[in-house]
Amino acid sequence: MSDVSRPSPAGVRTAAVIPAAGRGVRLGPGAPKALRALNGTPMLIHAVRAMAASRHVALVVVVAPPEGTAEVRSMLDAHALPERTEFLVVPGGASRQESVKRGLDALPPGYDVVLVHDAARPLVPVDTVDAVIEAVRAGAVAVVPALPLADTVKEVVPAQAPGEPEPVVATPERARLRAVQTPQGFDRGALIRAHETVTGDVTDDAGMIERLGLKVVVVPGHEEAFKVTRPLDLVLAEAVLARRRLNDGF
């Protein structure tokens, strides 16, 4: 594994790509997941604000559901967002990987650090965003926020039919495992190369960098950066927002 480091000039500019084109079927029927409301505000707007909250982020590229780009554009216009940040909206693709690629294709020159952040993680705190950016600026090619696991994890042979017992193959040592979150941060050139060369099934962008043989590092994630996937996650997200409002009030 090679270790590519970069110098970190003071004028490094950061852009964030937000893939938001998924249907979110695990959340139940309804609008695309990113467009559903959390405490009255679309999840996507929370995610955009979470990226724009970092003073390093000068551009946010939202990758919208292909049939919903106009809706997303007017959604961004209708909500208060920091004036120092620019916004672009592009149509997404059939897979998350394809959607991220379309976001990268839309990036203008001049951005050396790129964050990729799931719209489905609307509540990531700005300190986590900044920690990822700082680590890339300090020379890492790819940076992932992550947390230790609460559950023990088993590797199994997946069932052929629903409900069948699944034989356990292995129990990886829990202390060595991390659950990874977003935003993941990258040297722009490396991320573009990864998206041009790595094909096949990947569930995160850092995994593509690993396949190039480049080094990925982990920084501490945050419990509020959880992914809104199932109906119970909506309840948790609204509880986090209610707690924030209460804390902001004092």
Q: Does 135 bind ligand C5P (CB under 6 A)?
A: no
Task: Work out which of 12, 17, 22, 49 binds ligand C5P, going by CB under 6 A.
Answer: 22
The distance of closest approach from Cβ of residue 191 to ligand C5P in the complex, given in angstroms and rounded to an integer, is 16
- Under the binding rule (CB under 6 A), the answer on residue 95 touching ligand C5P is yes
CB of 195 to ligand C5P, least distance (A): 14
The one among 112, 118, 187, 205 contacting ligand C5P by CB under 6 A: 118
Nearest CA among 63, 51, 59 for reference residue 95: 63
For 41, the token pair is: 């505000």
Instruction: Give the nearest distance from C-beta 167 to ligand C5P in angstroms.
Output: 27
Question: What are φ and ψ of residue 20, in 5° steps?
Answer: -135, 25
Cβ-contact 121, 51 below 8 angstroms = no
Told to check if 184 binds ligand C5P by CB under 6 A, we report: no
Q: In angstroms, give the least distance from the CB of 219 to ligand C5P.
A: 20
Label residue 59 exposed, middle or buried (CB < 10 Å: 0-12, 13-18, 19+).
buried
- Pick from 42, 92, 145, 183: which binds ligand C5P (CB under 6 A)? 92
Which CB sits closer to ligand C5P, 120 or 208?
120
Q: Which stretch binds ligand C5P (CB under 6 A): 5-13, 16-24, 151-159, 173-181?
A: 16-24
Q: Does 48 bind ligand C5P (CB under 6 A)?
A: no
Query: By Cβ distance, which residue is nearest to ligand C5P?
Result: 22
Single residue of 12, 20, 123, 190 touching ligand C5P by CB under 6 A: 20
Q: Which of 15, 21, 51, 136 binds ligand C5P (CB under 6 A)?
A: 21
Smallest distance from the beta carbon of 67 to ligand C5P, in angstroms?
A: 12
> β-strand 216-220 against 86-91: which pairing, if any?
unpaired
Span of 17-25, 104-112, 150-158, 188-196 interacting with ligand C5P by CB under 6 A: 17-25
The least distance separating ligand C5P from the CB of residue 2, rounded to whole angstroms, comes to 29
Footprint on this chain of ligand C5P (rule: CB under 6 A): 19-22, 33-34, 63, 92-96, 99, 118-120, 227, 229
